[in-house]
């Protein structure tokens, strides 16, 4: 399970068309069922169907299963497929806005012709709550929402090393205190059933809730950590700021604070000690590289004997794609024309006009000699 979670995502949606890493899967799993399903169809229409997995997979099997559905170009019921090869070749151009929507294009099969989904067969439902260095795990029965006793709960690292383990009590609770390592996933097991929570992927979206507050430790040290923006690109410089306070609302000047940064693989890529500060204000700089991994980085601040963490996002942001058309006011110019006037229209590929964008036009004029003969 841990080796699978290192390279794959449990999160899925109805449009997930990215395949699992086949090379990695062969090391931890085997193929169980491969079959061709016959479904009802109507030409040129998308239809919704339901797939009952109990008729395919053994009912006694529990655990993690990976399900993939796919079809090929020959399976499409579409009248336009009988058109000539010339149009088919023309559709292969990546610049064509219909590359992913035209059934004649290979991009259509990539976008719509396959879907993948991980499924965990288990009656154990897990909830994980974290506060500072404490973890609180709840185990409930999905069938009747009752707490489950004696579920073996484990906290594991990215390297699949055991951090701590315990069993749930009569209320389905498992409490872990003084956890000083990074927890990559939580595993719950009982009677050959298992469920898992991958912390960096399955956290609730709290953007719609007021989650403000202070990060307070037992000895009263509070910190506030912030950056100049939320998402960075590889190659950007990241500026981090930390404000520290004691119980008496002060903090000694020039108190050393250590910053450690870990990449998405939990590898330490940066460490520095800041010894210059005033009134608890600290500033750190971290220069990313163009070839750095993208994903969630973790910044760990060590203030005295306490550790505080902050999440950094480094992503490759794809620019908007535009459809641009250029049309001259006159198709033919003569020697009396001193200006070439052009109408430039731009729209995003999702349909909206591309307003308030700057445009620069560079034109090359190539003389052409025309020769001919005449008779009188």
Q: Is residue 210 a part of any domain in this protein?
A: no
Give the number of domains in the chain: 4
Q: How far apart are CA 30 and CA 169, in angstroms?
A: 35
C-alpha distances in angstroms, 46 versus 3, 43, 69, 77, 222? 37, 9, 15, 10, 55
Q: Is residue 208 a part of any domain in this protein?
A: no
Q: Is residue 209 a part of any domain in this protein?
A: no
Q: Is residue 207 a part of any domain in this protein?
A: no
From 202, 231, 253, the end of a domain falls on 202
User: What order do you get walking across the sheet with 152-156 strand by strand?
Assistant: 162-167, 152-156, 185-190, 193-198
Please indicate, yes or no, whether residues 89 and 136 belong to a single structural domain of this protein.
Answer: no
306 CB-near residues (< 8 Å, 6+ apart): 217, 219, 221
Please indicate, yes or no, whether residues 273 and 292 belong to a single structural domain of this protein.
Answer: yes
| pLDDT tens, per residue, the chain with 376 residues | 788 888 887 776 666 777 777 777 777 778 887 888 888 777 777 778 888 777 777 666 677 888 888 888 788 776 655 555 555 555 454 455 677 777 777 778 878 888 888 888 888 999 999 887 889 999 999 999 899 999 999 999 999 899 999 999 999 999 999 898 889 999 999 988 889 999 888 888 777 776 666 556 556 788 999 998 888 989 999 999 999 988 888 899 999 999 999 999 889 999 999 999 998 999 999 999 988 999 899 999 999 888 899 999 998 766 667 888 888 888 887 778 778 888 888 887 766 788 888 888 777 777 666 655 555 4
Domain that holds residue 172: 124-202
């Amino acid at each position: 399970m841990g080796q699978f979670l290192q390279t794959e995502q449990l999160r899925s949606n109805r449009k997930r068309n990215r395949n699992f890493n086949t090379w990695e899967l062969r090391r931890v799993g085997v193929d169980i069922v491969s079959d061709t399903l016959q479904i009802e169809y109507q030409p040129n229409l998308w239809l919704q169907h339901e797939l009952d997995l109990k008729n395919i997979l053994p009912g006694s099997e529990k655990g993690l299963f990976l399900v993939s559905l796919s079809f090929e170009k020959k399976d499409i019921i579409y009248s336009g497929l009988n058109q000539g090869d010339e149009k088919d070749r023309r559709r292969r151009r990546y610049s064509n806005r219909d590359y992913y929507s035209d059934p004649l294009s290979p991009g259509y099969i990539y976008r719509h012709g396959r879907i993948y989904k991980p499924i965990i067969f288990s009656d154990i439902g897990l909830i994980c709550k974290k506060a500072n260095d404490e973890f609180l795990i709840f185990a409930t029965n999905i069938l009747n929402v009752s707490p489950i006793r004696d579920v073996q709960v484990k906290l594991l690292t990215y390297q699949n090393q055991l951090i701590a383990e315990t069993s749930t009590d009569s209320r389905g609770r498992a409490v872990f205190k003084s956890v000083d390592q990074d927890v990559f996933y939580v595993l719950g097991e009982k009677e050959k059933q298992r469920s898992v929570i991958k912390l960096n992927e399955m956290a609730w979206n709290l953007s719609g809730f007021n989650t403000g507050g202070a990060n307070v430790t037992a000895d009263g040290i509070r910190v506030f950590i912030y950056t100049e923006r939320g998402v960075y690109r590889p190659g950007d410089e990241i500026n981090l700021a930390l404000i520290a306070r004691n119980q008496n609302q002060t903090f000694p000047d020039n108190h050393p604070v250590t910053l450690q940064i870990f990449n998405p693989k939990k590898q330490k890529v940066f460490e520095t000690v800041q010894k210059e500060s005033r009134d608890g204000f600290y500033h750190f700089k971290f220069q990313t590289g163009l070839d750095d991994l993208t994903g969630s980085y973790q910044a760990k601040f060590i203030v005295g004997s306490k550790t505080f963490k902050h999440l950094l996002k480094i992503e490759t942001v794809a620019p908007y794609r535009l459809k641009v058309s250029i049309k001259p006011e006159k198709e033919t110019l003569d020697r009396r024309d001193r200006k070439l006037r052009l109408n430039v229209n731009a729209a995003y590929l999702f349909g909206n006009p591309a307003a308030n964008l700057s445009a620069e036009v560079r034109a090359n004029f190539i003389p052409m000699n025309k020769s001919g003969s005449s008779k009188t």
